[in-house]
Amino acid sequence: MSSVCVFCGSRKGARPEFENVAKELGRLLSERGHELVYGGGSIGLMGVCADTVLAHGGQVLGVIPTFLDKVEIAHEGLQRMEVTSGMMPRKELMIEASDGFIALPGGLGTFDELLEVLTWKQLGQLDGPIGLLNAEGFFQPWFGLVDHLVREKFLDPEARELLVVNETPSGLLDAMGL
């Protein structure tokens, strides 16, 4: 079984489509035999994705720092939960436990985690695929920032190739070879 780390919001966001893609991704991860690795919360898109994997008989590893246990309300129905001393150990454990990475819509934490794995991949420290689930065009502004960084010569154009992008969970998993 491979493990897929999903970065996503501890909120559900403004559009019901975001919750729908989190459910669809969770179902597909379970059906395709992938373990979900995620931030360990029971709320927002995180909780939706984890609940769906569990409802379809899949395996889930949650990783949550002690101080977020009450804020993100640690999921109590998981097969495995790791509690870390802080955010850096959380990210490190999630990365080390995963064979691939997917970002769904989310806030600053989601982008922090995404940037971490992109940096590791750019530096040759990470082999797994990194995917963006561009539901409802959520990540379009991100591509504008990446293009700006390329124009200003802070980023090589090849950096765009570090990411696999698709608008649907099935399309993204297929494109990532998962």
Q: Which tokens go with 176?
A: 């990532």
- Residue 102, domain CATH: 3.40.50.450
Nearest-angstrom CA–CA distance, 23 and 20: 5
Burial class of residue 63 in the structure, from the number of CB atoms within 10 Å of its CB (0-12 exposed, 13-18 middle, 19+ buried): buried
Chain segment 140-156, per-residue pLDDT in tens: 999 999 999 999 999 99
In a domain, 138, yes or no: yes
Averaged over successive runs of 10 residues, the pLDDT of the chain (178 residues) comes to 94 97 98 97 96 98 88 86 94 97 97 96 95 97 94 93 96 97
In a domain, 135, yes or no: yes
**So what's the pLDDT on residue 160?**
87
Other CB atoms within 10 A of residue 118 CB: 18
Chain segment 108-141, per-residue pLDDT in tens: 999 999 999 999 999 999 999 999 999 999 999 9
State which residues form the domain around 101. 3-171
**In whole angstroms, how far apart are CA 135 and each of 13, 147, 152?**
12, 20, 28
